[in-house]
Amino acid sequence: MSQSIENEAAQRRLRAARIAVAYIFFANGALAGNWVTRIPALMDKLDLSVFSLSFAFFGAPLGAILAMPFAGRIVTRAGSRRTTRVAFLFFCASIAPIAFAPNVVVLGLIIFVLGVVSAFVDVAMNAHGLLIERHYGRPILSSFHAWFSFGGLAGAGTGALAAWAALDLRIHIPLATGIALAGGLIAGRFLLRGGDDVAQEERRFFVKPPRQLVALGVVAFISLLSEGAAGDWSAVYINKPLHSSQAIAALGYFAFSLMMVAGRLSGDRLTMRFGPVALTRGGGLLAAGSLTIALLIGHPIAAIIGFAGMGAGLAAVVPTVFRAAGSRSDVPSGMGLASVSLIGYFGFLVGPPLIGSTAKVLGLSAALGIVALVMALVGVLASSAAPAGSAVGASAPEPVVAEE
């Protein structure tokens, strides 16, 4: 009887931890959705061109890339639970100043700091998600990413409403940040203690990533470049070249996020049914085809549908790659995730200036066409998504410890 009660209590703590991590993913996406859908308003406020805005966006991936080696090592040493709690607080504090940026230079610096903090949040919350997945003994990581996408959907929806109401950025963004922060303070208490890949014996702060992770990093690079293109440029493309209103333009990222949610909610089941390689290959081709057709039609409705198809195709790519990277037996989860994320974040790094520079010369439609071409390469590289050795169900999970 006593053992049964203890097991039931452990399961309750595990479910609570899963909800807590889902919230961190959700809030991360919601804050991103709120501010990226207000990019047209930010452009008007600071009188920014597409070209100058692209170099402000350059700061986020640059900061993330510089911080990623530190993030992997700190998550490995301090544990994903502690790092997630602290990093999320700094993440919220880094977003609010965007609304108060007086010029493009200050905006770029703010976004750089946001990129640094995002690196720690991304590695920590994914490592903690994998920890919970190992306790469950079956794939659930895609469901966490679904909550991130659902957050982006909710954030895009509220952002569209804020744009429709012409709500001042200095009210909208701090309000959204404050709500997310309050939830994070509560959720952080329910994260798991114990079971992290803590390696105190490793004295070197930087460790060269295993060669096998490079291919996974390239797939992550393509996916993150494409996701960043949808987040940064979907509203701008529909608003500027297609001459639509800001409220209609926000629906592009809304549709993208909606299909990311649908794809990631079913991603774990599809992974078990078809395998990670087939799922990744099909997703890359769907994303590339959807965006290509939308660009050829050149109408706001077609663009919204195209970004929706792009979201459906990319939905399972990053969770699949992260699972493969974080489930290796020869690398701690934090280090594997950081290594792949480091390569992947170069997609965010080169995306804004690549799209902005191409748009200046050939137009934004042609720039997004390059993104479609790059997404087709996911199908070619899909075989790298096969995990070398999954930790899910490989061994009995360590005991779940509740926080006092």
Is 270 in contact with 379 (CB distance < 8 Å)? no
DSSP assignment, residue 242?
Answer: T
DSSP assignment, residue 47?
Answer: T
Q: State the Cα–Cα distance between residues 91 and 113, nearest whole angstrom.
A: 9
The token pair at 212 is 């096998």
Q: Which residue type sits at 245?
A: S
Q: State the Cα–Cα distance between residues 8 and 317, nearest whole angstrom.
A: 34
Q: Which CATH number is 2-193+208-385's, of 3.20.20.140, 3.40.50.1110, 1.10.357.10, 1.20.1250.20?
A: 1.20.1250.20
Cα within 13 Å of Cα(323), Cβ side: 31
Is 156 in contact with 259 (CB distance < 8 Å)? no
Sign of CA dihedral 47, 51, 54, 55: negative
Q: State the Cα–Cα distance between residues 173 and 139, nearest whole angstrom.
A: 34
What pLDDT, on a 0 to 100 scale, did the predictor assign at position 401?
A: 45
Q: Which residues pair with 193 in a beta bridge?
A: 401
Residue 326 C-alpha from the chain's centroid: 16
What pLDDT, on a 0 to 100 scale, did the predictor assign at position 93?
A: 93
The CA–CA distances, whole Å, from 145 to 91, 153, 173, 316 equal 18, 12, 23, 9
Q: What SS3 class is residue 169? A: helix
The token pair at 39 is 């990019």
Cα within 13 Å of Cα(61), Cβ side: 24
Q: State the Cα–Cα distance between residues 61 and 118, nearest whole angstrom.
A: 9
What pLDDT, on a 0 to 100 scale, did the predictor assign at position 324?
A: 84
The pTM of the full predicted model, rounded to 2 decimals, is: 0.78
The CA–CA distances, whole Å, from 58 to 11, 111, 391 equal 43, 8, 35
List the domain boundaries for the chain.
2-193+208-385
- Element housing 216 (H / E): helix 212-239
- Residue 380: CB atoms within 10 A of its CB come to 13
- Which residues, other chains included, contact 70 with Cβ-Cβ below 8 Å and sequence gap of 6+? 119, 120, 205
Of 217, 212, 397, 379, the closest CA to residue 283 belongs to: 379
Is 154 in contact with 33 (CB distance < 8 Å)? yes
The CA–CA distances, whole Å, from 64 to 242, 371, 398 equal 32, 21, 31
- Which residues, other chains included, contact 130 with Cβ-Cβ below 8 Å and sequence gap of 6+? 141, 322, 323, 326, 327, 333, 337, 391
The token pair at 296 is 């050829």
Q: State the Cα–Cα distance between residues 93 and 48, nearest whole angstrom.
A: 24
Is 156 in contact with 261 (CB distance < 8 Å)? no
What pLDDT, on a 0 to 100 scale, did the predictor assign at position 166?
A: 85
Q: State the Cα–Cα distance between residues 308 and 256, nearest whole angstrom.
A: 4
Q: State the Cα–Cα distance between residues 102 and 215, nearest whole angstrom.
A: 41
Is 37 in contact with 156 (CB distance < 8 Å)? yes
What pLDDT, on a 0 to 100 scale, did the predictor assign at position 202?
A: 47
Taking only the tens of pLDDT, the chain with its 404 residues reads 566 666 788 888 899 999 999 999 999 999 988 988 888 888 888 888 877 887 787 788 788 889 988 998 899 888 999 999 999 999 999 999 999 999 989 999 999 999 999 999 999 999 999 999 888 888 899 999 889 878 887 898 898 899 888 888 899 999 999 999 999 999 999 998 865 655 544 444 445 566 668 888 889 999 988 988 887 788 889 988 887 888 888 889 889 978 888 999 998 888 888 888 888 899 999 999 999 999 999 899 999 999 999 999 999 898 988 888 887 777 778 888 888 888 888 887 777 677 878 888 888 899 999 999 999 988 888 776 666 554 444 344 444 443 43
Q: State the Cα–Cα distance between residues 400 and 145, nearest whole angstrom.
A: 23
Q: Which residue type sits at 176?
A: A
Which residue shows structure tokens 């991304």?
122
